[in-house]
Amino acid sequence: MDSVAADRVAAGRLWQGLSEPSHAIRAADRYFALMGRPMMQVRRANGEAVLLALDPATGAFLPSYALQNRFRDGLLDAQPLDHAAFHALVRRWRARALAECEASPILWTRTTDADFPYAATRAGQKLALRCGGHLAEPSWTLFAAGEEVGELTAWPAAWNCEEPRVSGARAAWAASRLAAG
């Protein structure tokens, strides 16, 4: 198994473990960048350190055990960052990831979740969309691996979805408001 596949398996195990109180992750204790890529070290409640690296394809922070082992052994020359510099770097990387997602042909499928009515997969990670509450000008919030990546004001032309883009309940509410008004 290559390091990318191992990290994907490890990511799945980590996120499954986060739902259990003994494995909950606390706030990051270190922020840094490796060749400009934002990373942070966090600790689980049991004290285990986990290295999370921003995934350039999705904008989500994912565990990277391959990098964590090299970091722990002092083989990586990572630049320490303060909180403000780290978050500014994350915003830039997420804006780039969001632009790439908007330009990519993604097939969205309808879900039964009212909060996240559309789901897709990109670079092996789950994506979800949450629709904003304004029917006149709907906005979309993109989530990758459970993290908010960014906001969209319109449905990107490269994306495909065979279902209507407004949920049935919202469409019925809008129709009733127009009929009443």
Instruction: Report the range of poorest mean pLDDT among 9-18, 50-59, 161-170.
Output: 9-18
Rounded-to-integer distance, Cα 89 and Cα 66, Å = 22
Nearest to 149 by CA among 109, 105, 108, 92: 92
Residue bearing the bigger pLDDT, 175 or 140: 140
Listed in sequence order, the residues at least 6 apart from 113 whose beta carbon sits closer than 8 Å to its beta carbon are none
Q: What's residue 26's pLDDT?
A: 58
Give the residue ranges of DSSP H helices in the chain: 3-17, 65-72, 83-103, 168-180
- The pTM assigned to this predicted structure is 0.71
Q: What's residue 138's pLDDT?
A: 64
Rounded-to-integer distance, Cα 70 and Cα 179, Å = 63
Q: Could you tell me the sign of the dihedral formed by the alpha carbons of 167, 170, 171, 172, in that order?
A: positive
**Count of CB atoms situated within 10 Å of the CB of 144:** 26
Q: What's residue 162's pLDDT?
A: 65
Q: Is the pLDDT of residue 156 over 70?
A: yes
Listed in sequence order, the residues at least 6 apart from 109 whose beta carbon sits closer than 8 Å to its beta carbon are 118, 119, 120, 161, 163
Report the DSSP pairing between strands 118-122 and 109-110: antiparallel
Query: What pLDDT, in 10s, does the model give residues 24-78?
Result: 455 788 899 988 999 999 988 888 888 899 999 999 999 988 888 777 767 777 8
